[in-house]
Chains A and B, each alone.
Chain A
Amino acid sequence: MHILDIQNIRKSFGDNEVLKDISLTVDRGEVVSIIGPSGSGKSTLLRCATLLETMDSGTLRYMDEDVAFMDENDKLVYTKDLKKVRGYFGLVFQNFNLFPHYSVLKNVMDAPVHVQKRKPREVKEEALALLETMGLADRADAYPCQLSGGQKQRVSIVRALTMNPEILFFDEPTSALDPELTGEVLKVIKQLAEQSMTMVIVTHEMAFAHSISDRVIFMDGGVIVEQGTPQELFEGTKKDRTRQFLQNYKR
């Protein structure tokens, strides 16, 4: 069983085709990094997978359940029960998107309690434990505006985790942070990888992608140019385009 199974998806904005026939599967416990230049379509891919964008064609499956598929008339249909599907994944945004009027604890607890209808006490225990492991135990009552960027991003990771997703997506989780704050966020993502969390990470942190990933995908111009283990991609790539891209990141 694949946690995530994407086949042949296409997406255009007007005349601009951003995703050209992309297929991708992710299995339990896998950590997949997606790298590539700006405008390569990696964020759009993530947004299609998390239902923030509707794709034009292709199929999307979570946990072997159809989410979006082509019907007999070759028209794309989405399943009715999107609420259930949304329970399978979590998404960590580049800009955190915490709710500024909620305290840290409320940010983390509100959706599990009011969307998943779980018992507040149980959720609170879990949330506090997670905040503890992320080094945020003393910030539970703070408001987002009182946190540093790194702390905000860690809270938003906890918020996604408290929903107990099968798979966690990261959309450039450190791009909005000061360089000295990226470390603390990357550390907790690494921590999650060690706990075998299934993750798909869109990132510009090459060293990080190298060290954490089971598989790295290089995207450019709306297609997957190359994928493989970090060693295959970073050290032994056969493709000129990949090499060219990676060279720009070398010091």
Chain B
Amino acid sequence: MTLEVMLKTMGIGMLRTGGIFCLTLLGSLPLGMIVALLRKSRIKPVQWVIKIYISIMRGTPLMLQLLVWYFGPYYLFDLPIKGWRYPAIILGFVLNYAAYFAEIYRGGIESMSVGQYEAAQVLGYTKTQTFMKIILPQVIKTILPSVTNEVITLVKDTSLAFTLAYQEVFSLAKQISASQTSFIPFVVAGIFYYVANYAVAFVMERIEKALDYYQ
């Protein structure tokens, strides 16, 4: 196999990896916020459910969760799972990362001083306004470094999609390595992950800088 063919084949895998990455962030960043807010809900059963959800998502391997999401519908409900592979991968990643993001958000929200809420209340802001205008922007700034960490982990975690035989870059690297008895595909994959994470770090640093105008 020429290097050109290898790069071309793995390039498709990189696009697929990028697809998982983007869809996961798109789903889990907002979902995490909803989970974080439900976690602080005044209705006790809701709190319990969310607590259990977070503890399962964080307490079991993502690989196992992917298997459950994909095969679960068949084994539990006898449903056909044709065409369910990709949705199951995205669902698995989104739900897992939402749990981690939720805990980051919660930490951020709890770090806000009571004074901010009280000032907003005295000025007559509604609860929604207080959250959206006063609390959330400050929370985002506080949690940005933790989110960066999590996003970088996600870039690397995308390789777990191989569990469900999704042909992303790492699966392809393994296959090509097996057929070519060569480590070069892994080196290519390594460079890809590094460059991707470098880009993530670069973008996040830019965002952090953009929010540096206040303390």
Cross-chain contact A50 with B116 (CB below 8 angstroms): no
Query: B115 touching A145 by the CB < 8 A rule?
Result: no
Interface hit among B51-59, B92-100, B134-142, B183-191:
B134-142
Whether B123 contacts A111 by the Cβ 8 Å rule is yes
**A157 CB to closest chain B CB, in angstroms?**
13
Residues of B within 8 A of A90 (CB): 122
Interface size class of B (residues with CB under 8 A): 10 to 19
Chain B residue numbers with a CB within 8 Å of A101 are 137-138, 141, 214
Interface check A115, CB cutoff 8 A: yes
Residues of A within 8 A of B123 (CB): 86, 111, 115, 159, 163
Distance of B79 from chain A, by nearest CB (Å): 48
Closest residue on chain B to residue A50 by CB atoms: B122
* Contact bitstring A71-112, B, C-beta under 8 A = 1, else 0: 000000000000100110111010101111100000000110
CB neighbours (8 Å) of A114 from chain B are 125, 129, 133
**B contact residues around A52 at 8 Å (CB):** 118, 121-122
Contacts of B133 in A (CB 8 A): 110, 114
Of the residues A87, A93, A99, A100, contact of B124 by C-beta under 8 Å: A87
Residue of B nearest to A156 (CB): B119
Contacting A at CB under 8 A, from B20-54, are none
In the complex, the answer to whether B125 meets A100 with C-beta atoms within 8 Å is no
Residue among A87, A101, A114, A163 facing the most chain B CB atoms (10 A cut-off): A101
Contact with A along B133-163 (1 / 0, CB 8 A): 1100110010000000000000000000000
When the two chains form the complex, which single residue of B122, B129, B214 contacts A100, counting CB atoms closer than 8 Å?
B214
List 19 other contacts, CB 8 Å, given A95-B115, A100-B214, A115-B123.
A50-B122, A51-B121, A83-B124, A87-B124, A90-B122, A93-B115, A93-B118, A97-B115, A97-B118, A99-B119, A99-B134, A100-B215, A110-B133, A111-B123, A111-B125, A115-B124, A115-B129, A145-B215, A163-B123
